[in-house]
Structures are given as C-alpha cells and as structure tokens.
Structure 1
Amino acid sequence: MLPALACVALVLALIHQALGPAASPLEADPGGLAPRRSKPLAVAPTPPYAAILAAPIFAPNRINGDAGLSANAGAGTAAPAGSLSLVGVAIGPRSASAVLRGTDGSTRVVRRGERIGGWRVVAVNSASVRLSGAEGPLTLPLVPNDKSVQP
C-alpha cells in the first residue's frame, strides 16, 4: 500500500510542476556594478630540464646522487670493478631495480639494460646484479648491513 501512495504522490507532484506557473526569468544584475573581468592566469616559467635533474625532489639533500656514478656512463672506459657495490634491490611483477653505490658514496638506481660507469646492467635478482663491460662480466652480491630489511 505504501509504494502505491508514494507513486500517486510523485505523479501529483509531476502534474503540479507541468501545469503550474512558468518560472519567471532571472532579474538582471542591479545597476552600478561593472561586469567582472577575469584575471589572466599567471604561469611561472619552467626551468630547463638540466636544472630539474640537478635538484631531484626525492633526494634528501636535493643533490643529484647520480653525479659521481654517471660521469663515465656511455664512455669507452669502464669504472674499476671495485668501485661499485650493490646496496639494495627492488623486484616487482614487471621489473627489477638495483641500488648501486660508488666509492664516493653516491647512489644510483638502475634497471636491466641501463649503463653505469661503463658497465651495462644485464640482470637484477634478489641477491645480486650482473653487469657486463670491457673487463668482462661482473656479479655484485647484495651487501647486507645492520639496517637491512629482510622480506
């Protein structure tokens, strides 16, 4: 019974809206006010791409951590094998990344196929990263420390 009464009430409201007086047009703005003009949008100029890379937002000190490691990237001479160490690995369903540290303490995140200090990353797994370069293949084991988080 209640749904039938609700339907009847809605039908009566619809009829009242359809047959009721037409809405009056909106009154014009009162005189004396000038129309509002929109202000132009001010956009700050974007710095050059090199300047953006020089101060990465995710680096704690806003200094490019790749500076020491990528100086020889793509060059013909490879960095000595002892100049890099593997300090972290992140493995996802579609890709894996390795965190490498140079002797100067700078770090860089690399993926398979990328170059670092004359070495090319061949593979990244949970315990090591394999590199290839002019000196031949190189496997860097993961260096655990006291602050390591084990899965």
Structure 2
Amino acid sequence: MRRLKPHMNRTEALYESSRCLFCFDAPCIQACPSGIDIPQFIRQINSGNDTGAARTIYEANYFGNACGKVCPTEVLCEGACVYNLQDVKPIEIGRLQSYATTKVIESGKKLFGPGEANGKSVAVIGAGPSGISAACEPAGVGVRSGCI
C-alpha cells in the first residue's frame, strides 16, 4: 500500500525542520484544529529530540500519528505557512508530525501513563475520536475511565 504522505528519513526530517522560520505569530498553530505547537515540535526534531517532538504532538492530539498521515495539512497548517506568501514550498508539517510520532512508536517508548488510582470513575458516551480523547484526560489523573 502506498502512503499518501511518504515517510521521512532522518536526513529529510532534519533538512525540512531546518527550513522553519519559527514565526512569532505562528499562523500554522492558528490553522491547526487541535492547536498543536507546531514550531515547538519542529524545533525539537531539528535539535534531535524526536521523543520530545512526539510528546508535544500527543499532548495536544491523542491521534497525532494518524492525523500526521491523513490530515489535509495542505489546506490547514501548511496552507497557513508564511512561505506561501513568498511562493516558496511550505514546511511539510504533516510529514514531520508523522516522522516524530512514528519514531516514538517504533522505539516502544511510553510517553504517558495513567495516574495513580484515586477511586473515582467516569464513563464517556461514544467511542469515536472525541470520546476516546475525553476518556484519556481523566485517566491521566487517576480516574478510571472508559467509553460506552
């Protein structure tokens, strides 16, 4: 199966991340529906901190890996990139996001875990992306949660 957005290797990720201008107003963040701190995770990739980049992504979006592959970045964050105003190819944010999250998945590192159990529980109605995301939040602070 051919990927819509081909996977980047380390060299490609370093090159692409070095192109980012780290804009003060970060129009890419404003255009991201999940509000990922895009300049931050790109800076982390560029400094060799792929795990930190993945953490930055997942803190804002529990589906960061899938979104890096299927999100229409060309009309969202990449569409807002200031390079578009200069007729320069925008930063490949989706591919960089996929790169960082795939690296941490392949490494087997665990970025987050449940908090210490506190005896409380919550049920979330609906097991779609928003339901699963809603169940993850309380689990992080020790509340037993699940989707129904």
| TM-score category, normalised to shorter length | under 0.3
More relative contact order, 1 or 2 (CA 8 Å, 6+ apart): 2
**Which TM-score applies when normalising by structure 1?**
0.28
**Which TM-score applies when normalising by structure 2?**
0.28
Relative to total residues, which structure has the larger strand share, 1 or 2?
1
